[in-house]
A and B are shown apart, each in its own frame.
Chain A
Amino acid sequence: MSTQGRVSNLRFFLRYLARHKLEYGVGIAFIFTTNWLAVNIPAHIGAAIDLLGETAQSEALMHSVGLVVLFALVMVVTRTISRVFFFNPGRAVEKAVKDDCFERLTQLQQDFYSQHETGTLISIVNNDINGIRTLAGIIMLQIFNVIFALSLTPLKMWEISPQLTLYCIGPVLVTFTVARYAMSYMRRQMKQRMGELQALSSNTVGFLSGIEVIKSHHIQDWAEGEFDRDNIALRDRSRKLVMVRTVYLPLIGYTDRIIKVMVLGIGGAYVIQQDLTLGELTAMLAYASLLAMPFISLGMILSALQNSIVSLESVRRILDTPPHKGDQQHLPARQRDALFSHSLRVNHLNYTYPGSSEPALCDISFAIRPGETVGVLGKIGSGKSTLVNCLNRYLEIEPGSIFLDDEDITSLSRRDLRSAVRTITQEPFLFSDSVEENIRFGADDEAEALSLEQALSESDMLEEVSQFPEAQNTLVGEKGILLSGGQKQRLSLARGLFTPSKLIILDNVLSAVDNETERFLLDQIFNTLRSQSTLIVSHRASVLARVDRILVLDRGRIVDEGRHEELLERCALYRDTWTLQQQYEEHAA
Chain B
Amino acid sequence: MSAQNNRQGIDWPVVQRFLRYLMSYRRQVTIGLSLIPVSVLFSILFPWLIMRIIDDQLVPGNHGELAGWALALAAVLVGNYLADAVFNYSLQSASQEAIRDIRREMFQRVLYLPRRYFDKTPMGVTLTRLTSDLEAISESFTQGLLSMIRDILVTVALLVFLLAVSWKLTLVLLLIGPLVYYVTELLRRRLRDTYVEARLILSRGTGYLQECLAGIKTVQLYNAEREVVERYRGFTLGFFHAQSRSNIYDSGLYSIVEGITTISMGLVIWYGSNEILAASLSVGVLVGFINTLDKIFVPIRDFSSQMASIQRAFAAFDHIEELFEEETEQDADRRRLPLSEAEQDKLRHFDSLRFERVRFRYNDDGPWVLRDVSFELKRGQKIALVGSTGSGKSTILRLLNKTYSQYEGDITLNGIELRRIPRQTLGRFFALMQQEVFLFNESIAFNIGMARQDMYSEAITAAARYVYADNFIDQLPGGYNFVLRGNGANLSAGQGQLIAFARAIAGGSEVIMLDEATSAVDSVTERMIQRAIDHVFEDKTVIAIAHRLSTIRHSDEILVLEQGAIMERGDHETLLSASGCYAKLLEDIGQSD
A residues with CB within 8 A of B = 41, 45, 48-49, 51-53, 55, 58, 61-62, 65-66, 68-69, 71-73, 75-77, 79-81, 83-84, 87-88, 91-92, 94-95, 98-99, 102-103, 105-107, 109-110, 113, 118, 121-122, 125-126, 197, 200-201, 204-224, 227-228, 231-232, 234-235, 238-239, 242-243, 245-247, 250-251, 254, 257-258, 260-261, 264-265, 268-269, 271-272, 278, 281-282, 285-286, 289, 392, 394, 414-415, 418-419, 422-423, 425, 429, 431-432, 441-442, 444, 477-478, 495, 584, 587
Contacts and interface: CB of A to CB of B under 8 A. Distances in A.
Contacts of B70: 261, 264-265, 268
Nearest to B247: A87
Contacts of A245: 88, 92, 143
Given A83-B254, A224-B111, A272-B66, A52 B286 contact: yes
Interface string B260-285: 00110111011011001100000100
B322 interface: no
The 7 closest A-B pairs by CB, nearest first: A442-B222, A265-B70, A442-B224, A83-B251, A76-B259, A246-B88, A72-B262
B141 to A, nearest CB: 13
A383 B222 CA distance: 23
Contacts of A58: 273
A246 B263 contact: no
Contacts of B451: 217, 219, 221-222
A125 B206 CA distance: 9
Contact of B259 (A73, A429, A477): A73
B174 interface: no
A87 B240 CA distance: 11
Contact of B85 (A214, A246, A432): A246
Contacts of A118: 210, 213-214
Contacts of B244: 88, 91
B252 interface: yes
A106 B77 contact: no
A445 to B, nearest CB: 10
Contacts of B507: 217
A209 B265 contact: no
Query: Considering residues A71, A91, A221, A224, which has the most beta carbons from chain B within 10 angstroms of its beta carbon?
Result: A91
Given A83-B247, A272-B57, A105 B213 contact: yes
Contacts of B283: 49, 52-53, 278
A239 B138 CA distance: 11
B581 to A, nearest CB: 18
20 contacts: A52-B272, A53-B277, A61-B273, A68-B269, A75-B262, A95-B237, A204-B130, A209-B123, A210-B438, A213-B438, A219-B450, A224-B107, A231-B100, A231-B104, A250-B84, A257-B77, A265-B73, A418-B222, A423-B221, A425-B218
Contact of A84 (B236, B247, B266, B452): B247
Contact of B58 (A72, A83, A215, A281): A281
A83 B450 contact: no
B56 to A, nearest CB: 11
Contacts of A107: 225
B457 interface: no
Contacts of B85: 246-247, 250
A271 B61 CA distance: 8
Contacts of A41: 262
Contact of A201 (B127, B219, B236): B127
Nearest to A248: B85
Contacts of A442: 219, 222-224, 227
A265 B67 contact: yes
Contacts of B240: 91-92, 94-95
Contacts of A48: 266, 269, 273
B216 interface: yes
Given A216-B427, A217-B452, A285-B287, A73 B263 contact: yes
Contacts of A478: 211
A163 to B, nearest CB: 16
Contacts of B227: 441-442
Contacts of B438: 209-210, 212-213
Contacts of A205: 123, 127
A208 B222 contact: no
B58 A587 contact: no
A589 to B, nearest CB: 12
Interface string B447-471: 0001110000000000000000000
B66 A269 contact: yes
A420 to B, nearest CB: 11
Contacts of A109: 220
Contacts of A103: 225, 229
Given A79-B254, A118-B214, A217 B263 contact: no
B576 interface: no
Contact of A197 (B112, B131, B243): B131
A208 B255 contact: no
A414 B226 CA distance: 13
A254 B79 CA distance: 12
B213 A75 contact: no
B236 A80 contact: no
Contact of B104 (A49, A102, A227, A432): A227
A431 B211 contact: yes
Contacts of B427: 216-218
A242 B224 contact: no
B110 interface: yes
B552 to A, nearest CB: 20
Contacts of B232: 99, 102
Contact of B96 (A98, A99, A228, A235): A235
Contacts of B251: 79-81, 83-84, 87
A271 B96 contact: no
A110 B216 CA distance: 9
B74 A216 contact: no
B204 to A, nearest CB: 10
B213 A122 contact: yes
Interface in B100-145: 100, 103-104, 107-108, 110-112, 115, 118, 123, 126-127, 130-131, 135, 138, 143
Nearest to B506: A217
A227 B102 CA distance: 13
Given A72-B262, A87-B250, 12 more contacts: A52-B273, A76-B256, A106-B212, A201-B131, A212-B115, A215-B423, A235-B97, A246-B88, A261-B70, A264-B50, A271-B58, A422-B221
B481 interface: no
Given A106-B212, A208-B123, A49 B286 contact: yes
Contact of B118 (A91, A98, A211, A414): A211
A69 B423 contact: no
B86 to A, nearest CB: 8
Contacts of B294: 289
Contacts of A234: 100
B424 interface: yes
B73 A264 contact: yes
B589 interface: no
B403 interface: yes
B62 to A, nearest CB: 7
A95 B93 contact: no
A69 B127 contact: no
Contacts of A218: 423-424, 427, 452
Query: Considering residues A92, A106, A125, A289, which has the most beta carbons from chain B within 10 angstroms of its beta carbon?
Result: A106
Contacts of B287: 49, 278, 282, 285
Given A200-B131, A205-B127, A214-B111, A394 B220 contact: yes
B269 A62 contact: no
B111 A215 contact: yes
B229 A238 contact: no
A220 B276 contact: no
Interface in B73-95: 73-74, 77, 81, 84-85, 88-89, 92-93
